A and B are shown apart, each in its own frame.
Chain A
């Protein structure tokens, strides 16, 4: 079993606290969603997990071994970074081969197969790739890396709807073939909500939530209807978000549904959605 354990992790950039005493672990091979608003600390966390930057305080271990400058351990983690860090004049196929040198489990045939499915021309140079194809190229590297932990930072940046769907399917197929820890960080919450088993929400450098998606969604519900009645229903309950349109109001509440109260007040109860919950939980 591969376990990443993060303890008391803090990262400062000058006066800015990017991560604030974060403790968190990834114990099981699941598909995790790492969600947060811009500047919340998602990329900083991923950079720290892959030893790309040094923590100000705290520790990160992989199966008990510190990851910092530990090539053996870092070789088991593949990070699809958001910026394209590969040399501009290099061709796609060169970097496939080059990656195979560093990641012995990298599957060149699988990478070529994926490139074909996405119609990525492997003769193209890095600088010739559009934003979308740069994302596709990096995603293929990650999926074919054979690493045991895959981290994706904004994997669908610039991808059209067809390619986004194809990528989600390839990620699921790869996981189905051999379950591994996958961490997806993206702003397109609605699209990936059903792909995730567990969700981690980060806000201003702190983890505010880590929970199986299904548990989270079943712990909340929406209530809508005439504003004063919705207010009556919401009284004493924990409200995450509210929207109002004149006399109509819709809220998301944590806690069990009170069916008889909803019926007597004539308000409508519905299921909570991850994106609306996220917005409610991360609004300033």
Chain B
């Protein structure tokens, strides 16, 4: 779990994203327990209420679930859910900013397409 403190987002949202990243990468497996909010708070040096808020965000989205008296777990199917959510945001988060920067730098459409193709791995 790594937070990007330079990000423009509030910390609890960064935490939710960091947990999602770990789910995507398989660091947190489906049906496995995630660290407690106290552990998260101590390791990331953030307020426990902030940690709780980040975790609860993912509970509301069905990515995590609570086992009473035990702790928080990754919901089965969470990885797919996170992937779909990220895909839906991909255009807004990456393409729009990419085009904004390209406009600032006067990069033509052709150059842009060429660069993307250069970055693509060989199929």
- By a beta-carbon cutoff of 8 Å, the part of chain A in contact with chain B is 30-31, 165, 168-169, 172-173, 175-177, 179, 194-197, 213-214, 217-218, 270-271
Contact = CB atoms under 8 A, between A and B. Distances in A.
B11 interface: yes
A162 B2 CA distance: 19
Contacts of A176: 36-39, 41-42, 48
A195 B47 contact: yes
Greatest chain B CB density within 10 A among A172, A179, A197, A217 is at A172
Given A165-B45, A172-B42, A271-B9, 17 more contacts: A168-B45, A169-B42, A169-B45, A172-B45, A172-B47, A175-B48, A176-B36, A176-B37, A176-B41, A177-B38, A194-B44, A194-B45, A195-B45, A195-B46, A197-B47, A270-B8, A271-B8
Chain B contact-residue range equals 20 to 34
A213 B11 CA distance: 11
Greatest chain A CB density within 10 A among B9, B38, B47, B50 is at B47
Contacts of A197: 47, 49-50
Contact of A173 (B9, B42, B46): B42
Interface of B: 5, 8-12, 36-39, 41-50
Contacts of A30: 49
A31 B47 contact: yes
B115 to A, nearest CB: 24
Q: 5 smallest A-B Cβ distances: which pairs?
A: A176-B38, A194-B46, A172-B42, A197-B47, A173-B42
Contacts of B8: 270-271
A218 B45 contact: no
Contacts of B50: 194, 197, 214
A173 B47 contact: no
Contacts of B37: 176
Given A173-B42, A176-B38, A176-B41, A194 B47 contact: yes
A50 B44 CA distance: 32
8 contacts: A168-B45, A169-B42, A172-B45, A176-B38, A176-B39, A194-B45, A270-B8, A271-B9
A217 B42 CA distance: 22
Nearest to A175: B48
